[in-house]
């Protein structure tokens, strides 16, 4: 059996398992997955806070990397250009 045949067979088996899962009454291609859980709201809030903090943290890291890159370039290291 070729890889393509085996892969097609594995995909078909996975689709059959997913379609047979409890609560699996959705039409193919529809996005109906809904979660009602307060813990996920807290996780989403924490993720949003992390996302908002990445910009300021990234700016700090960028400035430090550029400073290090300039210093390394000045000392003749080729790696300095990558950091800059």
The reported pLDDT for the residue numbered 28 is 60
> What pLDDT, on the 0 to 100 scale, is given for residue 7?
92
13 φ/ψ angles, rounded to the nearest 5 degrees: -65, -40
pLDDT of residue 75: 92
Helices (H) and strands (E) in the chain, counts: 3, 0
Query: Mind listing the pLDDT tens digit of every residue in the chain (84 residues)?
Result: 899 999 999 998 888 787 776 655 556 666 566 666 777 888 888 998 898 888 877 788 888 888 999 999 999 998 888 888
Residue extents of the structural domains in the chain: 58-84
E-strand stretches of 1-84: none
| Predicted local confidence at residue 21, as pLDDT | 65
């Amino acid at each position: 059996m070729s890889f393509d045949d085996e892969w097609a067979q594995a995909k078909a088996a996975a689709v059959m398992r997913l379609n047979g899962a409890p609560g699996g009454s959705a039409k193919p291609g529809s996005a109906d997955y809904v979660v009602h859980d307060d813990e996920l709201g807290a996780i989403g809030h924490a993720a949003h806070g992390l996302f908002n903090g990445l910009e300021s943290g990234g700016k700090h890291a960028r400035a430090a990397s550029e400073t290090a890159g300039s210093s390394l370039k000045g000392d003749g290291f080729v790696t300095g250009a990558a950091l800059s």
